[in-house]
A and B are shown apart, each in its own frame.
Chain A
Amino acid sequence: AQSVTQLGSHVSVSEGALVLLRCNYSSSVPPYLFWYVQYPNQGLQLLLKYTTGATLVKGINGFEAEFKKSETSFHLTKPSAHMSDAAEYFCAVSESGSNDYKLSFGAGTTVTVRA
């Protein structure tokens, strides 16, 4: 099974500052990669995903992520944090082959935005 590591369980940023959330995975075979956001008492909402093609992926709410095969990473960034970005963020990676519907999730990173 895939192993997904999110560096930092909590990140605090000032409003207007860069948001950088790190995600590394274990597979040597390029999987499908996802970032989800979870607001309190809600389900997960897709921010963006990488499936094929361009390695810089743009998502909703101004977020983007870059797939780096050589580093097995898929870090999430947003140039300028907004108060509404306070939430928990999960990186997810698919299995390879016929089980690619199965997602493995990182432990999550809680983002706090300071005014």
Chain B
Amino acid sequence: GAGVSQSPSNKVTEKGKDVELRCDPISGHTALYWYRQSLGQGLEFLIYFQGNSAPDKSGLPSDRFSAERTGGSVSTLTIQRTQQEDSAVYLCASSLAGRGADTQYFGPGTRLTVL
């Protein structure tokens, strides 16, 4: 079956521009996660959506970062006024429910480069 998909696969932008990254989770999965993978910080949790509950935004590094999930499915991560330190691979994952024992299935990621 179809896995988690992300677009674009690569994004190059100039410092100060806004970017939007998209994630399509596995159909039927109610939980969706965003992570950031960078050389300096490893894999970091950013944000978590579960059904209609308020998202857990505790991992967002600054107020330039925001995310939404429309209709309980597709999610968009937005970074405003990008900085060079935002360069990283942004990974999206989904799971059947938001339980800790659930397997999180990861997408291939979006590689963001800020010049």
Query: Which A residues lie at the B interface, using CB under 8 A?
Result: 31-32, 34, 36, 41-46, 49, 51-52, 90, 92, 94-95, 99-108
Contacts and interface: CB of A to CB of B under 8 A. Distances in A.
Given A43-B106, A101-B48, A102-B56, A32 B91 contact: no
A29 B103 CA distance: 20
Contacts of A107: 42
A32 B100 contact: yes
B91 A44 contact: yes
B51 to A, nearest CB: 12
Interface string B20-39: 00000000000101000000
Given A32-B100, A49-B103, A100-B99, A105 B43 contact: yes
23 contacts: A31-B100, A32-B101, A43-B107, A43-B108, A43-B109, A44-B93, A44-B106, A46-B103, A46-B104, A94-B100, A94-B101, A100-B99, A101-B48, A101-B95, A101-B99, A101-B102, A102-B56, A102-B59, A103-B45, A103-B104, A105-B43, A107-B42, A108-B43
Interface in B44-98: 45, 48, 50, 56, 59, 91, 93, 95, 98
